[in-house]
A and B are shown apart, each in its own frame.
Chain A
Amino acid sequence: MASETIALSVVNHGARPIGDRLHEWVVTVDHKKLGILYILYALMFLVIGGIEATIMRIQLIVPHNHFVSPEVFNRMFTMHGTTMIFFVVMPFLFGFANYLVPLMIGARDMAFPRLNAFSFWLMALGGFLLYFSFVGGNGLYGAGNAPDVGWWAYAPLTSRAFSPGHSTDYWTLALLVSGFGSIGTAINIIATILCLRCPGMTLGKMPLLAWLNLVMAGMVILAVSPLTAAQMMLSIDRYLGGHFFDTQAGGSATIWMHFFWIFGHPEVYVLVIPAFAFASEIIPVFSRKPIFGYPVMVAATVCIGFVSMSVWAHHMFTIGMNSYANSFFAITTMAVGVPTGIKIFNWIGTMWGGKIEFKTPMLFCIGFLFQFLIAGLTGIMLGTAPFDWQLGGSYFVVAHFHYMIVGGILFALFGAFYYWFPKITGRMLNETLGKLHFWLLLIGFHLTFDVMHIPGLLGMPRRIYTYEPGRGWEVWNLIVTIGTFIQGIAMLLFVANLIFSYWKGLKAGNDPWDAWTLEWSVSSPPPEYNFPRIPVVKSRRPLWDIKHPEDPDWKYE
């Protein structure tokens, strides 16, 4: 087997003026820089969204509290939800996808670099528009008019009659604009994965991260579009006198719900599938074994993608659909738990018989596994429709989805941070701070979100700015709020780690984790062109083949 060594000269940029360097970032079409921009943007909004959550939790720490007014509280939960989903988790995931997918499939960039940049700036504009609402617009309730209709913006609360002023329009426009950005990124991811894989990398040989981002991108294409359509309809109602959701004219409030949740449910799978991707890359490396059941993992994910498009009305069990409809959505909801459970078993199977190293990325992924299991089970509980008639719309649901998004997705994201930060910056994140971050976050998370299930079981609905004493909710709300502060400290520790390690972290080298996918074959950070020569692969773990020439993967796959 012929092998070539290619000598690379590192170009020394020297001390270029700061204006030049900033300009380079603004006009870049390089997937790595755009990936970093997405991630930094998301990090900023994570802090802002966290502040919004903290404001709400302080208001709810005791009944009949007066920390903020009902107007402000209602704006907080709307902005918190909208921000976290559209301007934190999605940009984080798009950022990592942008950075990693071309590197992992042996490509030099995404398929459409300029579309990539355009999509990022659209998303950025959307976030800016949403937050401009705090200062812009002349609403009925005084200066500053952030949306206060909940992140699902149910009709007819969003009609001109019940939401005068521009608050709802900021919500609509911000998401419309960033939605176009999301679709652009999804098109890019699909085209990149289908068209730019390096020679030898058939679909069956590409890393699971690529597969899962492919499925995620397909779901974005099919799911974000209904939201776009519904928001166009809402704008037609609000500005052109349309009647799509105008119940006075015979319109339907429930059709908004259907359109929204046809987006909303696949959206949460869009959020969680890339988290699965991170776990599927990190767990094998730190267990020192390949992923257990690669073809089944792919099949299960595709299955989840399809089935999840059929479960949306489990968000609408209480609206009075007939018993056949309710039964249908109950069974599809339970059915989607089967491929999801299979994935959990496969991750356990990966760890089984391995030699697990408890570095910070792995700690976060084990946390993800544990918490995702619980969140999935509370999801099954909610899927049994009559149980949902009690639990839906209550703090039980709030606990469930935060368990998924924070305990599942955010933990996996932190795992990804600690795993790929060395590749992106060339330095390791501090391991001690990392472990401290993990344990603090774990404790704070469980304190808040385990306990949060209980008020739901005791009848506390969601989206209330205060609650009545004597209903047995007080002590639980107090504990939940305390956990919030602990989580806040953990997040600050993480930010400190990022900043400290960027300047002073240990140098990482190409392959600090002894991993097996293509991104670890180039320098840290990678050169602008990624690979000096496009690699040719023969198996799912090209670097394993190189490191173990006596026992390469392609003999067994």
Chain B
Amino acid sequence: MSSTAIARPPIEPEWALPSRGRVGMFSLIAAEAAIFTIFVVAYIFYIGKSLSGPLPKDVLELPIFGTFCLLSSSLTIHLAVRALRNAKVGAFGLWWLLTIALGAIFLVGTGREWRRLIFEKGLTVSTNLFGTTYYSLVGLHAFHVTAGLIFLTIGMIFTLLGKVKPEHSERADIFSLYWHFVDVVWVVVFIVVYVIGR
């Protein structure tokens, strides 16, 4: 047997620390932001340095519709989380589904743009510096959208199975931080690639 004596003051003041999920998610976002920053820096550094091949202004078209969908999905996920916090699980499910749909539309749009660039304009990752940096940056972002969609879908499945309850709103909120981050990254990518770089 062993014993230990801990001195305790009679009344404990309230001890509130931030939620670990939130802190963890912010830390993850910081790490991802650092990775994206390097790809953005590479993109900016190589603007105008391609030795050959299609140039941005020749082949890029503004993906207005896709951007609108992706940014709206930030709104819909926010509304979903708010609904869940107010115990409206049905409304939550609808907004959540809409978020998935909007994200999927964005990805399809990216896919179609890439198809056009590769098969009609002859721009691939190995064509020139623009091709390398463009596909890497936009591709990395699309990969993060895809990962987000997978998690959103898992959440949707749980919702349809009736397992999602209002007390899960905190978790949904923490996930939505990731989704908002993905949108912010798109804003940066859009400005750098389609506005400045063109």
Chain A residues in the interface with B (C-beta under 8 A): 1-10, 111-112, 183, 186-188, 190-192, 194-197, 199-200, 217, 221-226, 228-230, 232-233, 236-237, 240-244, 249-252, 255, 259, 262, 510, 521-523, 532-533, 535-536, 538, 545-546
Residue numbers in B under 8 Å from A538 (CB-CB): 9
Asked whether A195 and B17 contact (CB < 8 A) given A229-B38, A233-B42, the answer is yes
Report which B residues bind A (CB closer than 8 A): 1-10, 12-13, 15, 17-20, 23-24, 27-28, 30-32, 34-39, 42, 45-46, 49-51, 124-126, 128-129, 132-133, 136, 140
Contact between chains at B35 and A226 (CB < 8 Å): yes
Chain A residues, Cβ within 8 Å of B6: 3-4, 6, 521, 533, 535-536
CB of B39, distance to nearest CB on chain A (Å): 6
Q: In the bound complex, how far is the Cα of B5 from the Cα of A523, in angstroms?
A: 12
**Structural contact, B27 and A221, CB atoms closer than 8 A:** yes
With a CB–CB cut-off of 8 A, which chain A residues contact B4? 5-6, 8, 510, 521-523, 532
A249 touches B129 (CB 8 A): yes
- A109 CB to closest chain B CB (Å) equals 11
- Starting from the known contacts A187-B24, A546-B7, 15 additional A-B residue pairs (CB-CB under 8 Å) come to A2-B10, A3-B5, A6-B4, A112-B20, A191-B27, A195-B20, A195-B23, A226-B34, A229-B36, A237-B132, A241-B124, A244-B42, A244-B136, A250-B46, A536-B12
Bound-complex Cα distance A326 to B15 (A)? 49
Cβ of A222: which chain B residues have Cβ within 8 Å of it?
30-31, 34
Q: Which residues of the other chain, B, contact A6 by a CB distance below 8 angstroms?
A: 3-4, 6
Say how far A117's CB is from chain B's closest CB, in angstroms: 15
Decide: B20 and A191 in contact? CB cutoff 8 A.
yes
List of A residues within 8 angstroms of B15 by Cβ: 199-200
Which residues from B are CB-within-8-Å of A199?
A: 12-13, 15
Taking CB as reference atom, which chain A residue is nearest B24?
A191
Smallest CB separation, A203 vs chain B (Å): 10
By beta carbon, the residue of chain B nearest A217 is B27
Q: Is the CB of A225 within 8 A of B24?
A: no
B30-A221 in contact (CB<8A): yes
Residues from chain A with Cβ under 8 Å of B126 in the complex: 240-243
- A236 to B126, alpha carbons, bound, how many Å? 9
If A222-B34, A225-B31, A226-B38 touch, whether A8 touches B125 (CB-CB below 8 Å) is no
Residues of A within 8 A of B19 (CB): 195
| Most chain B beta carbons < 10 A, residue from A183, A251, A510, A546 | A251
For residue B25, give the distance in angstroms from its CB to the closest CB of chain A. 9
> How many Å from the CB of A397 to the closest CB on chain B?
25
B30: chain A residues at CB < 8 Å are: 221-222
Residues of B contacting A224 with CB < 8 Å?
A: 31
Q: Interface centre among B30, B128, B140, by most A CB within 10 Å?
A: B30
Contacts of A111 in B (CB 8 A): 20, 23-24
Q: In the complex, what residues of A have CB within 8 A of residue B49's CB?
A: 250
Q: Once the chains bind, are A196 and B2 in contact (CB under 8 Å)? A: no
Listed by A's residue number, 30 A-B pairs whose Cβ atoms lie within 8 Å are: A4-B8, A6-B4, A6-B6, A10-B1, A111-B20, A112-B24, A186-B27, A187-B24, A187-B27, A187-B31, A190-B24, A190-B27, A191-B27, A194-B20, A194-B23, A195-B23, A196-B17, A197-B17, A226-B38, A229-B36, A236-B136, A240-B125, A241-B126, A249-B51, A251-B129, A255-B42, A259-B42, A510-B4, A532-B4, A535-B6
Residue of A nearest to B27 (CB): A187
Instruction: Name the one of A10, A192, A228, A255 contacting B35, with C-beta atoms under 8 angstroms.
Output: A228
B9's partner among A197, A241, A250, A536 (CB-CB below 8 A) is A536
Quick check: B45 and A252 within 8 Å, CB to CB? yes
Contact across chains for A10 and B2 when beta carbons are under 8 A apart = yes
List chain B residues, Cβ under 8 A from A230: 38
Residues A194 and B28 in contact, CB atoms below 8 Å apart: no
A425 → chain B closest CB, angstroms = 16
Contact present for B31 and A221 (CB under 8 Å):
yes
* Inter-subunit contact B129/A195 (CB<8 Å): no
* CB of B151 to closest CB in A, whole Å: 15
A221 / chain B contacts, CB cutoff of 8 Å: 27, 30-31, 34
- Which residues of chain A have C-beta atoms less than 8 A from B13's C-beta? 199
Q: How far is the CA of A7 from the CA of B2 in the complex (A)?
A: 6
Q: Which of B1, B3, B9, B51 contacts A1 (CB 8 A)?
A: B9
Do B38 and A244 touch (CB < 8 A)? no
Q: A398 to B78: give the CA distance in the assembly, Å.
A: 53
